[in-house]
Amino acid sequence: MIDFAQHAHTMSLQPDHTFIGITMARDATYQLRLDEETKRESFAVFHELGMTPAEGMRIFLSMVAKTRSIPFSINIPNLQTQQALAESRDGKGVTHFDSEASLFQHLDSLTK
């Protein structure tokens, strides 16, 4: 559980004492580049949750800082996957194509 008092300047409650939000000191900025599809899909989720993307990122980063970990599971590839990734980085088993047409021609030849 996050100790909001440690990070918050103002905690907002509705008259019935239900939680509205927290206003944190904002004295640093960070820019993030991502692809348009990820942006559109994630912003839609934030909207459904009733928060701005900036609020969602602040929550994520606060949890990273608080737990000193990523707040969800990230799996390390198994040995076979690690070996395949290393081989592909070294160019082993990798075929390069000059064009889309040559790629599809190669793929067609594999199915005959």
Residue 26 to residues 7, 79, 97, Cα–Cα distance (Å): 11, 43, 49
1-28 pLDDT per residue, tens: 444 444 444 455 556 655 555 555 677 8
Q: In the prediction, which pLDDT does 94 show?
A: 86
- Average pLDDT on 81-105 reads 90
For 55-73, b/e burial (b = at least 16 CB within 10 A) is: ebebbeebeeeeeeeeeee
Reported as a single tens digit per residue, the pLDDT across 24-62 is 567 788 888 999 999 999 999 999 989 999 999 999 999
Domains and CATH numbers, the chain: 4-67 (1.10.1220), 79-110 (no CATH)
From residue 93, give the alpha-carbon distance in Å to each of 22, 77, 81: 53, 19, 14
What is the arithmetic mean of pLDDT over 82-91?
A: 90
In this prediction the pTM is: 0.47
The average confidence (pLDDT) of the chain is 82
